[in-house]
Amino acid sequence: MVRSLTGSQLARQLGDWSGALPAGPAYARVAAGIRLLVLDGRVALDTRLPGERELAAALGVSRTTVTAAYDSLRAAGYAVSRQGSGTRAALPRSRSGDSASAGWTPFGPDGSDLLDLAHAAPEAPTHALRRAYDVALEQLPRHLPTCGYNLFGLPDLRAAVAARYTARGLPTRADQVLVTAGAQHAFSLVLALATGPGDRVLVEQPTYPNALDAIRRHGASAVPVPLTPDGWDVDAVAAAVRQTAPRLAYVVPDFNNPTGLLASDTERRGLARSLGRSRTLTVVDETLVELALDGATPPPLATYLPADLSVTVGSASKTLWGGLRVGWLRAEESLVRRLAAVRASVDISSAVVEQLTVAELLGSLDAVLPSRLAELRTRRDALAAALGRLLPTWRFRMPDGGLVLWCDLGRPASSRLVAAAEHHGIRLAAGPRFGVDGAFERRLRLPYTYPVDVLERAAEQLAQAFATATASSVATRPLVDSFA
Ligand SMILES: Cc1ncc(COP(=O)(O)O)c(C=O)c1O
C-alpha cells in the first residue's frame, strides 16, 4: 500500500520545524524541513510526496522553489522520482554503504557523528554476555546434527521464559511460549494474524512509535486513548472500546514507553475488565517490565485478562542487549500455534547461538540485573539533576523504572529542538513521534541509557540547542520567507 501526503498535510508538518532550520534560500529550508521529517520517521519511507504545484500552493511559495527543493532532496538521496509514481521519500546510502531505515542513521546534516538519544536501549552487560556466549558455544555441538530450524524456539529457552513468567505470578508452560526476534517482531506477528486493512487497534496516547508504524504498515488504524499525567483512565478505555470496537488493543502497562508510567494493580484490573468484557484481543508489551528502579511491579496484566484473549510480548533487548534480537510472546497454546504458522512465512526461526545465550542469561538474571538497575538509577538521577540545573523550565515526572524521561518543554518546540540539536551533535526523537496525529509537540523523550559523563555533556548540548530553537528571533522566522 503506497501512502501519499497532500500538500496541506506536508505543509502542516513542515510548520513544526519552522524557525529551527538554518537561514538560507527558501528552497533549501523546505528541503531541510522534509529531510528532518524523513529522518524523524514522521514521513515514512516510500511515502509519495505531494506534487510540486500542490505543495507550492500549500506553502505559499513559487513552484520553482518546490522544484528546487525536490531536486536537492533527490541529489542528497532523501527522495526518488520514478516515471508515473511521483516523488517518494527515501534515505541516502549511509557511509557504510547500506541504506538505513528512518531515524536510524547516526549522521548529522554535515555527515558528522551524532549522539543517539532518539533510541532508548542500554549497552550490553559485557562480562555476563561474554560468559553466556561461551556457555552457548559449548552447548552448540548438541544442536549441530539437527537442521537448526526451531519454529517455536529452542526448548531450553521456551522453558526459561516460561519459568520467569511463573515466578512473576503468571503460571506458564513452555508450549505457551513462542521465541521471536524481539518484541517488535512478536507484535508484528499478532498484527499479521489478527488484523486486516481498516481494522482498529486501540493504543495508549502516547505510545511506542514502532508499534504505531507496524499498525499502519498492516493497513490498520490506531485508536488513541490518552494517558493522564498519573496513569490510565480506565473509563476512557471502556468508552473507546464501546465506541470503536477495536480488533486489537496494544498496551504498555509496565514503565510505559515514553511516559515511564507503571499501571497500578487497580488500573490493571480495570483495564482487563473493559477489554475482557468486550472480548478484545489484547497485546501486553512487557519489554521494560524487568527495569523496576524504585519499588516492585504489580502482577502481569495477563493475570487479569481472559487467557484466550491475551498475548504478552517480552524481550531480552532492554534487560540484556538489543543486539541479541531475541524476544518472545506468551499466549494460550492454540494461539501460539497459529502465530507460529504466521512466523513460518516470515523468518522461520531465531538463531541458535543467541537463543542458547539468552536461555543461559535468563537463568542467571537475578545475578545480572541488580548492578544493571543500580547503574540505570544513577544515570536517571544524573540526567534529572543535569536537566534541573541546565534546563530548569522543563518538567518531568521521575519514573519508577524504564529507560526514559518524558519531558514537558513548557512550549510547543519539540520539532524545532530536534532540528537544532542536530547542529549540536545530538539526534533526538521529537514528541510527535510518540502520538497519533502529531500530538506532543511540547514533549521530548530523553533516554538515560548512557554513562553519566555522556549524559551530562548531552544536557549541556541540549540546553544550547533549546536556546537556539526558542530564541525569539529564530522561533518566529517562517519556514520560507513568504510562508504566512
Ligand atoms: C515498549 C517497547 N516495545 C518493543 C520494543 C522493541 O523491542 P525489541 O528490541 O525486542 O524488538 C521497545 C524498544 O524500545 C519498546 O520500548
Whether residue 351 is predicted with pLDDT greater than 90 in this model: the reply is: yes
Using the mean position of ligand 1's atoms as its centre, give its distance from the Cα of residue 38 in Å.
Answer: 21
116, 179, 208, 326, best to mutate for ligand 1 pocket (most atoms within 8 Å of CB): 208
- Torsion sign over Cα 54, 60, 61, 62: positive
Using the mean position of ligand 1's atoms as its centre, give its distance from the Cα of residue 34 in Å.
Answer: 27
pTM: 0.84
Domains, the chain: 7-90 (1.10.10.10), 98-120+368-469 (3.90.1150.10), 126-366 (3.40.640.10)
Closest of 91, 161, 132, 134 to residue 336, by C-alpha: 161
Q: Please, which residues have CB within 8 angstroms of residue 266's CB and are 6 or more apart in sequence? A: none
The answer to whether the CB of 444 falls within 8 A of the CB of 466 is no
Place 309 in a pLDDT band, splitting at 50, 70 and 90.
Answer: very high
- Give percent of the chain above pLDDT 90: 77
Helix boundaries (H) for 198-321: 209-217, 234-244, 265-277
Reported as a single tens digit per residue, the pLDDT across 183-193 is 999 999 999 99
Whether residue 460 is predicted with pLDDT greater than 70 in this model: the reply is: yes
Q: How far, in Å, CA of 213 to CA of 41, rounded?
A: 9
Residues 27-55, mean pLDDT to the nearest whole number: 85
Structure confidence at residue 478 (pLDDT): 47
- Judged by average pLDDT, the poorest of 19-23, 118-122, 168-172, 174-178 is 19-23
- Give percent of the chain above pLDDT 70: 91
Structure confidence at residue 67 (pLDDT): 95
Q: Which atom of ligand 1 is nearest to the CA of 187?
A: 4
Whether 213 is in the pocket of ligand 1, judged by its Cβ within 6 Å, is: no
Whether 317 is in the pocket of ligand 1, judged by its Cβ within 6 Å, is: yes
Q: How far, in Å, CA of 64 to CA of 353, rounded?
A: 56
Using the mean position of ligand 1's atoms as its centre, give its distance from the Cα of residue 328 in Å.
Answer: 11
Whether 170 is in the pocket of ligand 1, judged by its Cβ within 6 Å, is: no
Structure confidence at residue 325 (pLDDT): 98
Residues 461-473, mean pLDDT to the nearest whole number: 87
Closest of 172, 120, 155 to residue 300, by C-alpha: 172
Structure confidence at residue 102 (pLDDT): 46
Whether residue 22 is predicted with pLDDT greater than 80 in this model: the reply is: no
Whether residue 65 is predicted with pLDDT greater than 70 in this model: the reply is: yes
315, 320, 346, best to mutate for ligand 1 pocket (most atoms within 8 Å of CB): 315
Reported as a single tens digit per residue, the pLDDT across 221-230 is 999 999 999 9
Place 344 in a pLDDT band, splitting at 50, 70 and 90.
Answer: very high
Whether residue 341 is predicted with pLDDT greater than 80 in this model: the reply is: yes
User: Could you give the angle at which helices 26-40 and 63-76 cross, rounded to 10 degrees?
Assistant: 50
The answer to whether the CB of 414 falls within 8 A of the CB of 385 is no
Q: How far, in Å, CA of 182 to CA of 191, rounded?
A: 15
Structure confidence at residue 17 (pLDDT): 59
| Count of beta carbons in the 10 Å neighbourhood of residue 348 | 11
Using the mean position of ligand 1's atoms as its centre, give its distance from the Cα of residue 287 in Å.
Answer: 6
- Torsion sign over Cα 102, 108, 113, 117: negative
317, 354, 406, 434, best to mutate for ligand 1 pocket (most atoms within 8 Å of CB): 317
Place 103 in a pLDDT band, splitting at 50, 70 and 90.
Answer: low
Structure confidence at residue 96 (pLDDT): 34
Whether 181 is in the pocket of ligand 1, judged by its Cβ within 6 Å, is: no
In three-state secondary structure terms, 29 is helix
Structure confidence at residue 105 (pLDDT): 61
Whether 120 is in the pocket of ligand 1, judged by its Cβ within 6 Å, is: yes
State the burial class of residue 264 (Cβ atoms within 10 Å of its Cβ: 0-12, 13-18, 19+).
middle
User: Could you give the angle at which helices 52-59 and 7-17 cross, rounded to 10 degrees?
Assistant: 50
Using the mean position of ligand 1's atoms as its centre, give its distance from the Cα of residue 473 in Å.
Answer: 39
The bridge status of strand 426-427 relative to strand 248-251 is: unpaired
| Count of beta carbons in the 10 Å neighbourhood of residue 140 | 12
- Judged by average pLDDT, the poorest of 43-52, 177-186, 206-215, 235-244 is 43-52
Residues 381-394, mean pLDDT to the nearest whole number: 98
Whether 257 is in the pocket of ligand 1, judged by its Cβ within 6 Å, is: yes
Place 472 in a pLDDT band, splitting at 50, 70 and 90.
Answer: low
Atom 3 of ligand 1: nearest residue by CA position: 287
Using the mean position of ligand 1's atoms as its centre, give its distance from the Cα of residue 90 in Å.
Answer: 24
| Count of beta carbons in the 10 Å neighbourhood of residue 182 | 22
Whether 252 is in the pocket of ligand 1, judged by its Cβ within 6 Å, is: yes
Q: How far, in Å, CA of 124 to CA of 205, rounded?
A: 30
How far apart, in Å, do the first and last CA atoms of the chain sit? 34
Residues 137-146, mean pLDDT to the nearest whole number: 97
Whether 322 is in the pocket of ligand 1, judged by its Cβ within 6 Å, is: yes
Closest of 367, 368, 484, 391 to residue 446, by C-alpha: 391
Whether 54 is in the pocket of ligand 1, judged by its Cβ within 6 Å, is: no
Using the mean position of ligand 1's atoms as its centre, give its distance from the Cα of residue 302 in Å.
Answer: 18
Assess whether the previous peptide bond of 226 is cis (omega < 30° from 0).
Answer: no
Q: What is the mean pLDDT of the chain?
A: 91
- Judged by average pLDDT, the poorest of 264-268, 402-406, 418-422 is 418-422
The answer to whether the CB of 401 falls within 8 A of the CB of 448 is no
Place 2 in a pLDDT band, splitting at 50, 70 and 90.
Answer: low
The bridge status of strand 79-82 relative to strand 86-89 is: antiparallel
Using the mean position of ligand 1's atoms as its centre, give its distance from the Cα of residue 415 in Å.
Answer: 23
- Judged by average pLDDT, the poorest of 96-110, 167-181, 216-230, 260-274 is 96-110
Whether 259 is in the pocket of ligand 1, judged by its Cβ within 6 Å, is: no
Q: Which atom of ligand 1 is nearest to the CA of 316?
A: 10
How does DSSP assign 130-142, residue by residue?
HHHHHHHHHHHHH
- Judged by average pLDDT, the poorest of 17-31, 108-122, 369-383 is 17-31
The bridge status of strand 177-180 relative to strand 327-330 is: antiparallel
